[in-house]
Structure 1
Amino acid sequence: MSAVDTAGLPGAPATHGRAYWAVADCWNVVRRGLTYYQRQPVLIAWQLGFPIISVLLYGYVFGGAMKSPDGGSVRDFLMPGMFAMTMAFGFMNTAIAVVTDVAKGVVDRFRSMPMAPSAVVTGRGVNDLIVACAELAILAATAFAMGWRTDSGLAASLGAFGLLLLLRFCLIWVGILLGLLVPSQEAAGGLYAVAFPLTMISSVFVPPSTMPDWLGTVAEWNPISSTATAARELFGNPVASDGSWIQENALLMAVVWPLVITAVFAPLAVRRFQRLSR
């Protein structure tokens, strides 16, 4: 029988199957992660405050140097891109959290307990997705206060937020894998050198058509660009498109890219976790 607390799932029968324990143990790992945030208010201030600072910085400091493709409000073009960028940057928080648990022996302790082997990985994913929802809500509220508006219905706007969370979900697996691969917390911090080009070479801030041809092509095929463009379409905000296939099918690719990334990195993350103590 599992040694972890199953109070989060009341009314369970006396005998449980593997599926029940997988969910119960995952939920306990999630509770452990959320409790950690509760006891580390500085971490909450940083992780939830960074999106606000980013929106204010790019919206007010650099916004005057940017142009909207339709000549309208630059914030209407910029904000969906900022949402996508924040969701993409979240994989760094995942990687640092995972490598910290590995370095402190928390993961080894979990592995020594009679709990579902998948719980540590899935629990981290669910925990980070909950935090991502909070980040996205704060971002949207901040952008709204700055004057950003949507020109679409509620269903379309919710679809845009769903695509943004889908991007965050697939990159959680990238963060888990990187957190299990890097040797230390210091090395995890160096992953920002990868995160910045990944987010900057995209349509987050400017249309790819304004870049050199080869760089614009890279930016167009960046999964973050597909999500940013799809979110702009669903929000009814200005969309920068040069007629290329990838941009004309941004809604499709905003679903396809995350599914492909998840299909590749989720098994790799689980396999790496299973090989830690071998």
Structure 2
Amino acid sequence: MHQQRLVLNGPPAAVARLADDLCTAGAVAVAGPTAGPPRLVWRTARPASLEALCAHHCEVIVGVERFEVLGDELQRLVVRGPETTVLERRPLVGGDDLDGIEEAGGVGLEGDGAPLAPAVLRAAAGYVLVMPDGLESGPNCSPVDDAVRVGKAVGRLCATVIEDGPDFGGDAAIAALAATVLTLGSAGSACVTERTFEREWRLTQAMARAGREHLWARPGEADWPEWLMDLLTGAAQVIEGCSACLHQPPPPFVSLHTEHFDTEAEQLERAARRLVTTALQALVLFPVSRLVDR
């Protein structure tokens, strides 16, 4: 499946006609600025269907952000009638997307470690994808709500560890923690479709990182206490990030050339991304057989 986020610009009547055709084809309109252009999200197995529809609406310019769920590339393009201009094809396995991997537990130098098996890692991500997102109890919209949901998921993981002892079999608890972290900051969204877009985008990014990192640990040989501590430490950093977002509103920002310092929200996003990456790796390492059977 592919996810596409669309922004429509052009004469109002022409934009309305294309929006109607897109919604008929399966796209969903999402709330945006009152005076802004219409925005839609479209989850489809055939992303080229967008270009086919736009070919009949030459007056409308469509900005597109597109990725394959659990794929390895983000595309940004502009479509106007039958013409498509690709602005960017950005791989998710290099550059800024891997900032900070040297800080991750279990990561070794590329010459010493090895990446995890892609098929099993994809199975782990698919397992997380089908887990509940932790929002069953109703709409929440503050960093406190996010911190409480993460804390609840961590509590379930710890309870499973205590119950199972050395024969840990809590892959469901790890997957549930990852699924909860994927929804941070999106609980207040009125549009489930847009929340799904963000959830799948974050998981796709995390899987790309998890597959790119070279690990000392191998399935069947990894040190479970070490990885459990990595998960707990990552969850603590996420909760700390929620606290920072609650108590420290964004300060005035002054750019110095191209220098940029992460805001509290960006630091929280980075911590959440790191935790989901660690969770995916742990799902592959402990225990592999359950994922292979799926």
Name which structure has the greater RCO, CA cutoff 8 Å, separation 6+. 1
Q: Same fold (TM over 0.5)?
A: no
* TM-score, reference length from structure 2: 0.29
- The structure in which a higher percent of residues are strand is 2
